[in-house]
Amino acid sequence: MSFLSYQHFPIYSVMALFLGAFLVVLFGRNKFLRGLIAFCATAITLCCMILLIKPVMLNHEIICYWMGNRAMAGGYAIGIAMEVDQVSLFFGLSSPACTRCSTWIMTTTSPNTTPCS
């Protein structure tokens, strides 16, 4: 199984956000770089989730990802697992999309505007 297989996309989306948060803290003094890192992290996450639509939503596949190649041993779960079904993919798609929209709204509106009366 190659590293670009869709079976790995759920963990890639989580790790992109963790790496993005680490880089924002590391390079947090520059506002432009901070925004660029956040933009890239949420874009990678959203792309990974969009690429999972066909196998999960259309083919009704449930992706079970065991970290460290550990699987069920005698009925007991040893290790960390991540399962992606249709409901979790829906919430996985809505979270980065809402983050991207709210970031765009915050950057395009001015805090000094008065509401229309």
The number of domains in the chain is: 1
Residue 14's domain spans which residues? 6-107
Is residue 53 in some structural domain?
A: yes
Grade residue 68 by pLDDT with cuts at 50, 70 and 90: low
Rg of the chain on CA atoms, in Å: 18
Tokens coding 102: 């709210």
Domain contains 117: no
Span 5-31, pLDDT tens digits:
778 888 888 899 899 999 999 987 888
Q: Of 60, 47, 56, 59, whose CA–CA distance to 97 is shortest?
A: 47
Q: What is the pLDDT of residues 34-59, one digit of tens each?
A: 888 888 988 898 888 888 888 888 88
Domain presence at residue 114: no
Residue 115 in domain:
no
| 112, part of any domain | no
Check: pTM over 0.95? Answer yes or no: no
Q: Is 1 domain-assigned?
A: no
- Residue 36 token pair: 């660029």
